[in-house]
Amino acid sequence: MAGIPAALRRPRSPFIGPRPFTLHDESLFFGRSDELRRLLELWRRNRLTILHSDAAAGKTSLLRAGLIPRLRADGANVLPPGRATSCQVRPAPALPGHNPYVLTLLSSWDPEESPGRLAALSISRFLHGRETYDRDGAPTPIFAAVDQAEAFLRPRAPDGAHRRRLLGELFEALAHRPNLRLLLVVRSDYLDDLRHEVKDAERPECAEYHLRPLTPEAATEVVCRSAQAMRLHVPPEEVEELLEELRAIRDEHGRVSRLTRAIDPLLLQVAGAHLWSCAPARDSFAPARVRAEVERALTDWCGRTLAVAAAEHELSRRELDTWVRRTLLRRNRTAATHLADMTHTANTPNTADTTGAARVVHTAGKVGAGDTVRAARITEAFLHSLEDRHLITDARHDAGPGLRQRRLLAPLRRLDAGRWPPAAPDAAALLCAAVRAHAEGEPGRAGRLAREAARVCPPKEMRVRADIESLLGNLSYEQRSLDEAVERYLAAATLFEALNDCTSVGWILAAAGRISLEQGRRSTAVAYMMAATGRLPHDPFVRTGLGQALRAAGESAAALEVLTGVLEHDDVLEARRTRNEIAGDGGGPAKR
């Protein structure tokens, strides 16, 4: 851009595309002033508030680009947006017994804190450490939000206890922290599940707010004010044509059968970003052929969404295209016929995986006369991925999933599986997909995705390569291939060392040390744990591991000294248990 005259440089797009708004997009977040004012009032007045809406109505954007910046501007004690799931990879042996949901949530609320210190805390104790006080010494409200709560409301057998503990700790914090103002953000199709959890926790004092899609007036404000923020002029007729096209439901012949009352925020951003990208002039907003370009934008988005989902879940495009046409495009049939013809639940294990944890929905039949297709295996994890990508809804419904937006019927009808945009070989995206597959109880698929990520990862992306090796180490550790796990971890440590990331190196070495302890290689375990402590000298979990390794090596006095030092600052249950065991063996006095 440096060699281009300023007058010819293209301004930033007024549309962000299909991703949610972030704190950095506050200047482009428009059309939600009434909702923002009302929800701020509820959050301030109630100890527990539930924000819910249909998928892609803008809950995350409202939280990140609206609510949190407004509270911070008012000087409130507000934590960063919280999430209980992420794509972050941690070496599993280094944090034995921790709750991954609680640790991820606390890490999102305080990204700078050591995972070892956070793993030693309950949610209530964490919040106690974040309290602030007014001039009279009274604690001020702590505003904390948990986004995408549906992620830990879904039934997942492998980690059900961890999910329930997360909810229990959230409600326990509400009971013990009167100054806590908790906001839970959830999709409306999981609202009843969350209400049930709230009722079981005996927390009736709960406020709810239903976020609706954009009205035509609000959508007009979004387009016009976004363009103004970029110093662009948008002719009113182009705005009206764009919004009417986004509301148009067309039949199989392309005729408009009706107009929706509201406008989907996601589709507005998808269409707007496309129109901006193909505008011929620097100060143009949209080409004249709005309808054709909107259709192209929505068709391309559907194709990319399906292509990525197919690659992530190891489905052929043809199989997935057949499933889309026979399930999403034929929901006008009765639920009974749909259930009988299209889906059934299989209780047999998922043969593509070693755990059998995935629930499988098979579809089979004929697309057209004489066009027989073989069965496509559609897992619950795949359906949830399409939910999270905002293409479908009601994945848990007996009649099968439905298309989230009827406006997408026409683009899906025109979609040709042979011309779907190819799923880009993005190593970071494949790594995230592998992490999700692992969390969904499909280690086989997780491993294949991780190895594919390693294959396509450029050498210069060392952090991604290090995380891939760490994930492969976790998978090997769970399969009890301990030597391979250590080999993977040490490969990750070498990459983190090159990045001068001492924290990550410390965690990797701690994982290798704990595995060596399991293998009975005591001197090796002590060496690894000493090296880990050198990089993380104040981390309670790493120092606890060192104490355990010293005890195993017969150095009880040194172990007691290390563990006592841990417990002087952090209440790590594993450190307390090990110290008491040493005392019981005659190595020193037990302490409470």
Q: What pLDDT, on the 0 to 100 scale, is given for residue 10?
A: 55
Domains of the chain: 32-210 (3.40.50.300), 216-302 (no CATH), 504-585 (1.25.40.10)
Residue with tokens 């990319």: 304
Mean pLDDT across 258-287: 80
Tokens encoding 531: 């090296």
| d(C-alpha 396, C-alpha 381), whole Å | 11
Mean pLDDT across 548-557: 95
Q: Binning pLDDT at 50, 70 and 90, where does residue 486 land?
A: very high
Which tens digits make up the pLDDT trace of 2-27?
Answer: 444 444 455 678 899 999 999 999 98
| d(C-alpha 570, C-alpha 567), whole Å | 5
Is the pLDDT at 343 greater than 50? The verdict is no
| d(C-alpha 452, C-alpha 462), whole Å | 16
Between 367 and 313, whose confidence is greater?
Answer: 313
Mean pLDDT across 120-140: 92
Q: What pLDDT, on the 0 to 100 scale, is given for residue 73?
A: 95
Q: What pLDDT, on the 0 to 100 scale, is given for residue 336?
A: 31
Between 357 and 221, whose confidence is greater?
Answer: 221
Judged by DSSP in three states, 460 sits in coil
Mean pLDDT across 163-179: 93
Q: What pLDDT, on the 0 to 100 scale, is given for residue 586?
A: 64
Q: What pLDDT, on the 0 to 100 scale, is given for residue 158?
A: 62
3-state secondary structure 158-221: HHHHHHHHHHHHHHHHHHHCCCEEEEEEEEHHHHHHHHHHHHHCCCCCEEEEECCCECHHHHHH
Residue with tokens 């009601």: 394
Q: What pLDDT, on the 0 to 100 scale, is given for residue 96?
A: 86
Q: What pLDDT, on the 0 to 100 scale, is given for residue 114?
A: 86
Between 155 and 410, whose confidence is greater?
Answer: 410
Between 408 and 359, whose confidence is greater?
Answer: 408
Q: What pLDDT, on the 0 to 100 scale, is given for residue 186?
A: 96
Angle at 200 between CA 197 and CA 202, to 5 degrees: 115
Is the pLDDT at 359 greater than 60? The verdict is no
Which tens digits make up the pLDDT trace of 279-302?
Answer: 655 455 555 588 889 999 999 999
Neighbours of 422 (CB within 10 A): 12
Which tens digits make up the pLDDT trace of 51-73?
Answer: 999 999 999 999 999 999 999 99
Is the pLDDT at 347 greater than 50? The verdict is no
| d(C-alpha 443, C-alpha 206), whole Å | 38
Q: Binning pLDDT at 50, 70 and 90, where does residue 589 land?
A: very low
Q: Which residues contact 551 (CB under 8 A, 6 or more apart)?
A: 559, 578, 581, 582, 587
| d(C-alpha 582, C-alpha 559), whole Å | 9
Q: What pLDDT, on the 0 to 100 scale, is given for residue 318?
A: 86
Is the pLDDT at 339 greater than 60? The verdict is no
Q: Binning pLDDT at 50, 70 and 90, where does residue 350 land?
A: very low
Q: Binning pLDDT at 50, 70 and 90, where does residue 325 land?
A: confident
pLDDT averaged over every residue in the chain: 86
Which tens digits make up the pLDDT trace of 499-510?
Answer: 999 999 999 999
